[in-house]
Amino acid sequence: MLNGRVAVVTGSTSGIGLAIARALAGEGADIVLNGFGEADGIESIRDGIASEFGVRTAYDPADVSRPEEAAGLVRAAQERLGGCDILVNNAGIQHTAPVEAFPAERWDAIIALNLSQAFHTIRTAIPLMYGNGWGRIVNIASVHGRVASINKAAYVSAKHGLVGLTKVVALEAAGRGVTCNAICPGWVLTPLIQKQIDIRAAEKDLTEEAAIVDLLAEKQPSKQFATPGQVGGLAAFLCSPAADQITGQELGIDGGWSAQ
């Protein structure tokens, strides 16, 4: 389905981003990985995807919270693999605290990585997509791009902003062969969520299993985690011909969370 397409996925050395990269590679897309980690581990991931799916792969260590490096990631994809047909903005961080106690530097860091990086990659990639008459932009937002939770001022603001950016880009790109959509996962068991489980277990004196049950029961009616593979599957679908007329949408994978 995606043979000959080049996909750039930020934050793709683990978790949801890696699952998305693998899903796109499974459809034949060449992949540019990005993110942090041990060099040997990242090389093993890159080589593994190339071998398993028979696609070209590259890794770029850009710190996409920095505007020039975010733009440079897209330019590197063009130079090394010949383009950027698919852009998935997945990189993100989290911090929780009441507004009055929220460190200003954490606010700035979360906005930079969870929101501004998407602007900088999109503004660099979309002229290439327009030139080819085809492109797919998938922004990994969150259920917190649709609803709010306490102690997450920066994250909720960034994800709401990302959903808004998605809609603007979709309108501007309409009719030019380029779509832009947001995926809004609820609880997905990733290292980011594991930290929240650990905090909850410590604060409530719970076992890890009990903290997981407590977390899910509070928000996610299905009482089950979504999986990285499910997010990857939806991202791949949004790049398929069946999704040619799906644009400007915020698509939830949240076990009913945002339906409440």
**What amino acid positions are annotated as catalytic residues?**
155
Task: Pick the closest to residue 185 from 235, 218, 145, 143 (CA basis).
Answer: 143
Residue 224 sits at φ, ψ, to 5 deg, of -135, 145
**Distance between CA atoms of residues 106 and 119, nearest Å:** 19
Instruction: Provide φ and ψ at 6, rounded to 5°.
Output: -110, 125
How far apart, in whole angstroms, are the C-alpha atoms of residue 232 and residue 183? 10
Q: Quick count: other Cβ atoms within 10 Å of Cβ 204? A: 10
In this structure, what are the phi and psi dihedrals at residue 148, rounded to the nearest 5 degrees? -115, 160
- Sequence-ordered list of residues with C-beta below 8 angstroms from that of 137, at least 6 positions apart, any chain: 86, 87, 88, 89, 122, 125, 126, 129, 166, 169, 173, 178, 179, 180, 181
